[in-house]
C-alpha cells in the first residue's frame, strides 16, 4: 500500500512540475497558430489588393482610350460626344440591372443620385471640351484633380474630418494645376484649361456623392445606370438643337468611346471591391501616362516643360498623400 501511495505521490508531483511546461507549450502553440493565421490572412489579402491594382490600371487604360476615341471623332459638338458616351453606358448598365432581377433604387437615394448625376454630367462635358481643345495628357491631368476636390467636398457633404497634411496636398495639387493651365492675360487662351479644371471639380463632387450613396447601400450598377440615363436625357435637347451629321467612322469612334468609358466605369468599381481606395487610388494616375503615350504616338502631341512640371507636382502630391495615409494608418493600428 505504501509503495502504491508513493507512486501516486510521485506521479502527482510530476504532473505539477510539468504543468508550466505544458502551459508554455500550449501558449507557444497558440501564438504560433495566431502568427501563422496572420501570415495566411496577409497572403490571402495581397492577391485581392493586386487584383484591385490590376483593375484600376485597366480602368485608367480604358479611360485613356476613351479620350483618344473622343478626339478622333473630330469636330463634332461636345454635347453630342457626351451623349453617345453616356447612352452606351446606359444600355449596358440597364442590361446588367435586368440580369440582377431588380430595377429599384434604395429608399432615400434619389437626392444623392440627382446630385451625383448633375455633377457627373458637368464633369464629362467639361472634360470632353478640354480633350478637344488641349493635349489629351493635359486634359486628363486636370481631370485627375477630382480626388483633391473630393477631399474638400467630403468635409461639407460627408462631414469628414480632414487633416492638415491633406489640406497641404490639396494646395500642392492646385499649384501643379497652375503649371498646366498656364494662365495668361489673354483669358481666351486659358479657357480650355479652366474648363478642364471645372471638369475635375464636377468629377470630384460626383465621386463624393457616389461615396454618399454607397454609404446608404445603393448598388454600383444602379448608380451608373441612373447617371447615364439622366445625363443622356439632359443632353438630348441640346444635341437635337446642335446636331451635326456624322460619318460612319465618327459613329464608330463615339461608340468605341462609350464602350471604353463603360469598361472603365465597371473596372474601377471592381477595383474598389477588391481593395480600399487608400491602397490603390494612386495607381489611377497611370491614365495620364497612358494618355501622354497616345498623344505622342497618334496625335504627335508633346507636352511642354511647364505641363510636365505640373504633372510631376500633381502626381507627386497624390503619391505623398498615399504614403502619409499608409503611415498614419499603421500608427493608428499600433
Q: Residues 205-208: contacts with CB within 8 Å, 24+ apart?
A: 205/115, 205/119, 205/123, 205/149, 205/150, 205/153, 206/116, 206/119, 206/120, 206/123, 206/146, 207/146, 207/147, 207/150, 208/150, 208/153, 208/154, 208/157, 208/158
Buried b (16+ CB within 10 A) or exposed e, 227-239: bbbbbbebbeebb
Angle at CA 149, nearest 5°, toward 122 and 220? 65
Instruction: Give the C-alpha separation, 177 to 173, whole Å.
Output: 6
Instruction: Give the C-alpha separation, 116 to 216, whole Å.
Output: 14
Q: Which residue in the block uniquely carries the three cell numbers 505504501?
A: 2
Q: Which residue in the block uniquely carries the three cell numbers 474598389?
A: 272
The DSSP symbol for 105 reads P
Q: What's this model's pTM, rounded to 2 decimal places?
A: 0.79
Question: 3-state SS of the chain: helix, strand, coil percent to 5?
Answer: 85, 0, 15
Structure-block grid coordinates of residue 185? 492675360
Structure-block grid coordinates of residue 54? 490590376
**DSSP three-state, residue 26:** helix
pLDDT score at 11: 52
Structure-block grid coordinates of residue 218? 445603393
Please list the rounded mean pLDDT of every run of 10 residues in the chain (334 residues). 48 48 44 44 58 88 94 94 93 89 86 95 95 92 90 88 86 92 76 94 91 86 92 96 94 94 84 71 86 92 91 92 78 68
Q: Is 276 left (phi over 0), alpha (psi -120 to 50) or beta?
A: beta
CA distances from 246 to 75, 132, 197, 215, 231 (A): 10, 17, 29, 42, 21
Enumerate residues 6+ apart whose C-beta is below 8 A from 155.
161, 162
Instruction: Give the C-alpha separation, 298 to 243, whole Å.
Output: 27
Nearest to 149, CA basis, from 167, 129, 134: 167
**DSSP string covering 301-323, please?**
----HHHHHHHHHHHHHHHHHHH
Instruction: Give the C-alpha separation, 273 to 260, whole Å.
Output: 20
Nearest to 227, CA basis, from 246, 245, 203, 192: 203
The DSSP symbol for 275 reads S
Amino acid at each position: 500500500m505504501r509503495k502504491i501511495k508513493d507512486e501516486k505521490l510521485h506521479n502527482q508531483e510530476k504532473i505539477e512540475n510539468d504543468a508550466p511546461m505544458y502551459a508554455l507549450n500550449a501558449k507557444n502553440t497558440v501564438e504560433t497558430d495566431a502568427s501563422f493565421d496572420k501570415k495566411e490572412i496577409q497572403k490571402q489579402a495581397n492577391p485581392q489588393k493586386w487584383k484591385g491594382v490590376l483593375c484600376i490600371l485597366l480602368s485608367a487604360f480604358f479611360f485613356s482610350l476613351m479620350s483618344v476615341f473622343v478626339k478622333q471623332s473630330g469636330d463634332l459638338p461636345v454635347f453630342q460626344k457626351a451623349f453617345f458616351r453616356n447612352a452606351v453606358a446606359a444600355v449596358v448598365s440597364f442590361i446588367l440591372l435586368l440580369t440582377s432581377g431588380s430595377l429599384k433604387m434604395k429608399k432615400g437615394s434619389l437626392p444623392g443620385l440627382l446630385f451625383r448625376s448633375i455633377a457627373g454630367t458637368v464633369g464629362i462635358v467639361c472634360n470632353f471640351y478640354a480633350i478637344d481643345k488641349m493635349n489629351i495628357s493635359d486634359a486628363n491631368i486636370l481631370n485627375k484633380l477630382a480626388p483633391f476636390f473630393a477631399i474638400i467636398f467630403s468635409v461639407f457633404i460627408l462631414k469628414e474630418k480632414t487633416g492638415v497634411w491633406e489640406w497641404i496636398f490639396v494646395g500642392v495639387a492646385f499649384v501643379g494645376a497652375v503649371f498646366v493651365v498656364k494662365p495668361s492675360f489673354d483669358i481666351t487662351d486659358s479657357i480650355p484649361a479652366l474648363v478642364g479644371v471645372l471638369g475635375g471639380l464636377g468629377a470630384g463632387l460626383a465621386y463624393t456623392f457616389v461615396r454618399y450613396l454607397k454609404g446608404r447601400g445603393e448598388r454600383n450598377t444602379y448608380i451608373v445606370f441612373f447617371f447615364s440615363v439622366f445625363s443622356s436625357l439632359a443632353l438630348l435637347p441640346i444635341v437635337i438643337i446642335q446636331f451635326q451629321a456624322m460619318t460612319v467612322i465618327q459613329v464608330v469612334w463615339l461608340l468605341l468611346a462609350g464602350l471604353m468609358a463603360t469598361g472603365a466605369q465597371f473596372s474601377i468599381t471592381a477595383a474598389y471591391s477588391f481593395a480600399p481606395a487608400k491602397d490603390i487610388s494612386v495607381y489611377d494616375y497611370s491614365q495620364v501616362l497612358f494618355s501622354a503615350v497616345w498623344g505622342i504616338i497618334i496625335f504627335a502631341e508633346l507636352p511642354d516643360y511647364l505641363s510636365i512640371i505640373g504633372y510631376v507636382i500633381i502626381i507627386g502630391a497624390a503619391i505623398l498623400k498615399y504614403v502619409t495615409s499608409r503611415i498614419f494608418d499603421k500608427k493608428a493600428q499600433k
